[in-house]
Structure 1
Amino acid sequence: MTKEQFLSMLVLEGFPEPILVEREADGFLDDHTHPFEVKALVVSGQIDLVVDGVSTSYISGELFHLLENQVHTERYGNNGVQYLASRKNQSESN
């Protein structure tokens, strides 16, 4: 997916403007949640997410989606990761 396609999708789905998130090489976050829904486009590097015991790797051009309060872990590739993340609170969609 291109950045332009991602931005268009966000508008159609009522998500706010994304921010650029950068994570360090070989970093990780153990089990945690976010108080918002996330749609993100990987710009460079790699992120591995584990949700419900299933690990999925995402690289440049790929989209990942996490629901509000969804338990997950994050691991970042040996070059780190950069992604555009749009965060939507449940109250924003009502």
Structure 2
Amino acid sequence: MSTPTFETFSQQARSEGFDEIIVREWAPQLHLETHTHPFDVSACVARGEYWLTTGEEVLHLKAGDTFRLARNVPHAELYGPEGATVWVARAN
């Protein structure tokens, strides 16, 4: 899967109603315990890899992968040995 450009990702997200687009840089091996967000998320992994756990499901996401997460869904995150860059669109 090819990674879109940040501009393409941003334009698509805005056309779908996402109102905030940010770039997140995550440290190697960072583990975020189960938490929630008060916004919907559409995201694209631009660099690195990480594991997103929701309930019993674990997604292993790598550069080029996209995912969505609804607001208030409990999830945990574990970032790979190189950390990760994730483009995040939020619908507040």
Q: TM (normalized to structure 1)?
A: 0.86
Residue 16 of structure 1 deviates from its aligned partner by: 2.2
2: CA distance, partners of 1:64 / 1:80: 18
Cα distance in 2 for residues equivalent to 1:15 and 1:28: 26
Matched with 1:63 is 66
Partners of 1:67 and 1:35 lie apart in 2 by 9
Number of aligned residue pairs: give it: 89
Distance 1:51 1:5 in 2: 27
* Letter matched to residue 9 of structure 2: F
**1:12 and 2:15 are equivalent in the alignment:** yes
Going by fraction, where is helix more abundant, 1 or 2? Answer: 1
For the aligned residue pairs, the C-alpha RMSD in angstroms reads 1.3
Alignment of 1:32-51 (within 5 A): 32-51=35-54
Deviates further, 69-78 or 12-21: 12-21
Q: TM-score, normalised by structure 2?
A: 0.88
Q: Which runs of 4+ in 1 moved over 3 A?
A: none
Specify the code of the residue in structure 2 equivalent to 1:33.
T
Residue 12 of structure 1, CA deviation: 2.0
1:2 aligns with 2:4: yes
- Gapped regions of structure 2 (runs ≥ 5): none
Q: Which sits farther off after the overlay, 6-15 or 34-43? A: 6-15
* SS of 1:81 mapped into structure 2: strand
